[in-house]
A and B are shown apart, each in its own frame.
Chain A
Amino acid sequence: MKRTGKQISSNKLWIAVFAAMIIGCILFIILFKNIGGRTAVIYQDGQEIARIDLSRVTESYTVPLDGNVILVEPGSIRMQSADCPDQICVHQGVLHDAGRIVCLPNRVLIEMEHTKDAPDAKAG
């Protein structure tokens, strides 16, 4: 197994390419992270089921879906339960101002609508 200079440089080249790719992805995530609002939209099978302004929710309630139960609380939304084996959507926790929860087995998507920066807390 003879090592040639050319082979080492091709390894280095690929490392550079993938490093650049990771940096690009991180930049993308940072740049688009703050796009998020306070309106959650629930989809099942690609159909919009509900559109909820979380900042106007005063009392918790649940949205039962086929296979999933979504819990809507003042300012937040989360998957309360799911009948799928992996429970990833339940473990994803609470959505406040950005991000999305996906339940792949039941084809449920909870997505925050994109608006301007949301505050972290409110004084008063």
Chain B
Amino acid sequence: MRCTALKNKTALFLCVCLLLLSCGCTRAERKETSLFAMDTIMQITAYGGSDDALAEARDVIEGLDAALDATDSQSTLSLLRSGDAVPKTILEPLQTAKKIASATDGALDVTLFPLSDAWGFYTKQYRVPPQTELRTLLQNRGSVSVQDGRLVLSDGTKLDLGSVAKGYAADCAAKTLRQNGVQGAVLALGGNVQTVGQKPDGSDWRVSVADPLHPDGTVCDLLVGETAVVTSGSYQRSFTENGKTYHHILDPETGAPAESGLLSVTVVCADGTTADGLSTALFILGLDRGSALWRSGEIAFDALWITDRGEIFVTAGLASRVEQTNETYGKANIIE
């Protein structure tokens, strides 16, 4: 039996093509890791990229956790004194926080450490401080600014970047993943979600929003591209005393948990640090002032508010990307 064949050159060429093809066939591998940092569990899932991508992202997050921890007296943040040069890892989140503060009439405040501490949100030994104590702490609140790259901190002021730290960590870790050639990744830093690149099948990332009344469940899914999705809600950390529930998002005006008629605010924004800080600020501002900020366009973002009456409000830019999954909440109202 004779096997007539192609010309040898053609056959060789085909062989090489097929070898290349079989290499190209291995799809972006799914890798994931989880770690405990910033007082929460963090999960990173990445598609493609170098073998060290996840380990490097972990290192970045753990480094920032150690540097930005206000409760640790030995952290870079705590050791920073007035007049010191501000390192980049503190300067960047601080500047974003200041920008949000000025856009929201001071709703985001990086000097509230003594207040949160008085409520026991750091030590988890919760108490309701008396009005006089709150008033004194609020009055003694100092100011923070940066001039010529040096920190200007009024006496007795303690800097706390907890409101933007997770968002900043997400930004930095996302950058590291991109540098390592990752094609797609999703970082869930304790409910702070950051997506990177594209899903391997090219579809949108699907990020669900927690149900503030039953945090195990969800209210809706958001279909998003590369962005940050951050939710701030009163359900995330709270304690009950004498039948009243106190949550951890303190209003800088009163020094007490913000009462803005909201259960949670979810911010969708390209910058993770901004999304993190803004979600806190929008929770304090409430629906009306928050939607006014969105209309003003001072900061580019989209948001989804859930009010304590079970209503959902969503900005026009996000409305088409919301898929509601929970029937106990009414149909989303669109803010234009």
The reply to whether A124 and B191 contact each other, CB–CB distance below 8 Å, is yes
User: Given A1-B4, A3-B7, A94-B32, is A123 in contact with B205 using a C-beta cutoff of 8 Å?
Assistant: no
The reply to whether B186 and A122 contact each other, CB–CB distance below 8 Å, is no
The reply to whether A119 and B208 contact each other, CB–CB distance below 8 Å, is yes
The reply to whether A120 and B6 contact each other, CB–CB distance below 8 Å, is no
A1 and B7 CA atoms in complex are apart in Å by: 9
User: Given A3-B7, A11-B6, A33-B201, is A123 in contact with B210 using a C-beta cutoff of 8 Å?
Assistant: yes
Contact partner of A124 (CB less than 8 A), chosen from B4, B6, B30, B215, is B215
Q: Convert A73-106 into 0s and 1s, putting 1 for each residue whose CB lies closer than 8 angstroms to a CB of B.
A: 0000000000000000000011000000000000
The reply to whether B186 and A123 contact each other, CB–CB distance below 8 Å, is no
The reply to whether B206 and A119 contact each other, CB–CB distance below 8 Å, is yes
B residues 202-218 with Cβ under 8 Å of A?
Answer: 203, 205-210, 212, 215-216, 218
Q: Does A17 have its Cβ within 8 Å of any Cβ on chain B? A: no
Tally the A-B contacts, defined by beta carbons under 8 Å.
68
Q: Convert A40-66 into 0s and 1s, putting 1 for each residue whose CB lies closer than 8 angstroms to a CB of B.
A: 000000000000000110000000000
The reply to whether B199 and A120 contact each other, CB–CB distance below 8 Å, is yes
The reply to whether A124 and B206 contact each other, CB–CB distance below 8 Å, is no
When distances are taken between beta carbons in the complex, the residues of chain B under 8 Å from A7 are 4
Q: Does A16 have its Cβ within 8 Å of any Cβ on chain B? A: no
Give the shortest distance, in Å, between A6 (CB) and chain B (any CB).
12
The stretch among B50-58, B230-238, B246-254 that forms the contact with chain A is B230-238
When distances are taken between beta carbons in the complex, the residues of chain A under 8 Å from B236 are 124
Q: Which of A3, A30, A118, A119: most chain B Cβ within 10 A?
A: A119
User: Given A11-B6, A30-B201, is A122 in contact with B207 using a C-beta cutoff of 8 Å?
Assistant: yes
A39 and B208 CA atoms in complex are apart in Å by: 18
Q: Does B226 have its Cβ within 8 Å of any Cβ on chain A? A: no
Contact partner of A119 (CB less than 8 A), chosen from B5, B187, B218, is B218
Closest to A73 in B: B34
When distances are taken between beta carbons in the complex, the residues of chain A under 8 Å from B284 are none
Q: Does B278 have its Cβ within 8 Å of any Cβ on chain A? A: no
A122 and B236 CA atoms in complex are apart in Å by: 13
A123 and B275 CA atoms in complex are apart in Å by: 12
Q: Does A121 have its Cβ within 8 Å of any Cβ on chain B? A: yes
B residues 182-209 with Cβ under 8 Å of A?
Answer: 186-188, 191-193, 195, 199, 201, 203, 205-209
Additional pairs, 6, CB under 8 Å, beyond known A93-B30, A123-B229, A124-B209? A117-B221, A119-B207, A121-B205, A122-B210, A123-B192, A123-B193
In the A-B complex, the 6 residue pairs with the closest CB atoms: A124-B210, A124-B231, A119-B208, A121-B188, A123-B231, A119-B206
Question: Using a CB–CB distance below 8 Å, which chain B residues touch chain A?
Answer: 4-7, 30, 32, 43, 45, 186-188, 191-193, 195, 199, 201, 203, 205-210, 212, 215-216, 218, 221-222, 229-231, 233, 236, 264, 266
